[in-house]
Structure 1
Amino acid sequence: MERVSFRNRDMAWDIAALILTPPGFDPAKKYPTIISVHPFGSCKEQTSSAVYGKALAEQGFVVIAFDASYQGASGGEPRWVEDPTQRVEDVSHVIDYAVTLPYVDADRIGAIGICGGGGYILNATLTEKRIKAVVGITPVNIGRLFREGFSNHDPLGALDAMAAQRTAEARGGDLQVNELLPASPEAAREAGLTDRDVAEATDYYKTPRGQEPGGATRMLFSHAQNTLAWDAFAFTEMLMTQPMMVVVGRKVGAFGAYRDGMEAYGRATASKDRRLVELEDWSHYDIYDKDEPVALAMEQMLPFLKQHLTTE
């Protein structure tokens, strides 16, 4: 695994990434390559590289897992901005970098994303035709989530509050950085937060199971306006022409990945090869890193990606 950072002519900061390579890697050869997108509030060291990136590299792919702009070890100020347009643009910047690497086959680039990253990568694939196949792993449409649960189903009220906070910050006030999760599973239980997704997210992000310094689970409140007006699946019927797979768990929670994955799959009628994988006994956060559901997901993902990205 190699740590790299890069920028191109369109960027004002560096993107930090991990490059994972297959066993017996030979830089003189060309490899099918996967761009891996981390969840909302996450970082490249978590599930996007340590679980799915590692598994795909072991099966012969080069994998590039990166930190979103404003997050993790990537640049961008102010910190902890969640900007869907930038998150999608980051994918193209990473591909711009990938195609300069002599061992990356520019005609065999695929992409995966987990949770919010799954929504972002499906959206990126609509217009980024250098992506030849895509997998959304328990994908979340972050715009839908912000308009609903994250705004207490009051998106206009949230926008008014963001506007007031941004004005206050422009006049020298303190930034409002919202913590997305309780500090610990114990704190979640004490607060009566019993929803499956909230409890399991806390168990993943706030314990040694998945906790990483770069996975801040924070959001700058005043800069989230664009998120409420964004839709990961807009124009999917027309523009999702590449092979697409969606992996979802049947145990549903408040973040809505099952619902969003079903919508993405249902709308991708122009895809050359669309596939839906439903994991009957598993939840959104089980699919992040638990051995059995990850193995079940990989059983479907691996032949799909090899079919569309390899010449063997």
Structure 2
Amino acid sequence: MKKVNFRNADMSWDMSALILIPPSFVETQKYPTIISVHPFGSCKEQTSSATYGKALAEAGYVVIAYDASFQGESGGMPRYVEDPTQRVEDVSRVIDYAVTLPYVDAERIGGIGICGGGGYIISAALTEKRIKAVVGITPVNIGRLFREGFSQYNPIGALEAMAAQRTAEAQGAQLMVNELLPPSLEFAKENGLTERDVYEATDYYKTPRGQKPSGATRMLFSHAQKTLSWDAFSFAETLMTQPVMAVIGQKVGAFGAYSDGREIYGRSVASKDRQLVELADWSHYDLYDKSEPVGLAMERILPFFKSYLD
């Protein structure tokens, strides 16, 4: 594994990525390559590389796990912007970089994403046909989540608050950067924040289990307006032509990945191969790093990618 920074001609900042390589890697050979997209509020050192990137590299793929623009070690100002359009564009920019590498086979590129990253990589595949097959691990449609739970089912109220805050910041007020999770499991318990996804996210992001310096779990509130009008699955019925797989756990939580995974499966009627993998007794955050559910997921993911990338 090596860390790289790169900048495309249409960018004004660098992106930071980890490249994971297969065993017995030979730089003069060409390899099928997977673009791995991290969750909302995450970074490249977490599940996108440490879990799925590692497993795919061990199976013979080059994997590029990167930090989204404005997040982690990638550039872009202001920090902590979560802009779905930018996140989808990042995928194309990473592919632009990947196809310049001598060991990447430009005709055998796949995509994988986890949580919000699953929604982003699926959305990217709708128009980015260099992606030949795509997998969403417990994929979340972040636009739907913002319109619902993240706005307390009051999207217009949230938009009005964002508008007021952006005006205040333009006039010199301090940026409002929201922390997305409780600071600790103890705090979550003491304050009744024990809904499955909230509590298990805290267990992953706020403990040594998954915590990383660049995994900020923060969002710049004033720049999130466009997220509320975005839909990861828009036009999937006609544009999702590639093979697509959604992997979801049947232990349902408030972030909605179970229903989102079923939705993209149902809407991908133009896909040459759509697959839905439901794992009983496992939850959204179990699929981030726990060995048994990840192993069950990989038993389906590896044959899927092999069919279309090998």
TM-score of the superposed pair, with normalisation by structure 1: 0.99
Residue identity opposite 1:255 in structure 2: F
Residue identity opposite 2:281 in structure 1: D
Partner of 1:255: 255
Residue identity opposite 2:38 in structure 1: H
Partner of 2:80: 80
Residue identity opposite 2:160 in structure 1: D
Partner of 1:238: 238
What's the CA shift for 1:276? 0.5
Partner of 1:63: 63
Residue identity opposite 1:38 in structure 2: H
What's the CA shift for 1:194? 1.5
1:218 partnered with 2:218: yes
Q: How does 1:221-300 map to 2 (within 5 A)?
A: 221-300=221-300
Instruction: Report the count of equivalent residues.
Output: 310
Partner of 1:40: 40
Q: Deviations over 1:31-63 (max 9, x none)?
A: 000000000000000000000000000000000
Q: Deviations over 1:78-103 (max 9, x none)?
A: 00000000000000000000000000
Q: How does 1:129-278 map to 2 (within 5 A)?
A: 129-278=129-278
In the alignment, the residues of structure 1 paired with residue 301 and residue 75 of structure 2 have an alpha-carbon distance, to the nearest angstrom, of 31
Partner of 2:91: 91
In the alignment, the residues of structure 2 paired with residue 15 and residue 262 of structure 1 have an alpha-carbon distance, to the nearest angstrom, of 32
What's the CA shift for 1:138? 0.2
Secondary structure of 1:41's counterpart equals coil
Secondary structure of 1:258's counterpart equals helix
Secondary structure of 1:288's counterpart equals helix
In the alignment, the residues of structure 2 paired with residue 136 and residue 121 of structure 1 have an alpha-carbon distance, to the nearest angstrom, of 7
In the alignment, the residues of structure 1 paired with residue 125 and residue 189 of structure 2 have an alpha-carbon distance, to the nearest angstrom, of 39
Residue identity opposite 1:273 in structure 2: D
Partner of 1:124: 124
In the alignment, the residues of structure 2 paired with residue 245 and residue 308 of structure 1 have an alpha-carbon distance, to the nearest angstrom, of 12
Secondary structure of 1:250's counterpart equals strand
What's the CA shift for 1:10? 1.0
In the alignment, the residues of structure 1 paired with residue 119 and residue 12 of structure 2 have an alpha-carbon distance, to the nearest angstrom, of 25
Residue identity opposite 1:184 in structure 2: S
Q: Deviations over 1:102-154 (max 9, x none)?
A: 00000000000000000000000000000000000000000000000000000
Seq. identity, %: 77
Residue identity opposite 1:230 in structure 2: W
Secondary structure of 1:136's counterpart equals strand
- Structure 1 segments unaligned to the other structure (5+ residues): none
What's the CA shift for 1:175? 0.4
In the alignment, the residues of structure 2 paired with residue 145 and residue 156 of structure 1 have an alpha-carbon distance, to the nearest angstrom, of 14
- Structure 2 segments unaligned to the other structure (5+ residues): none
Q: Deviations over 1:253-300 (max 9, x none)?
A: 000000100001000000011000000110000000000000000000
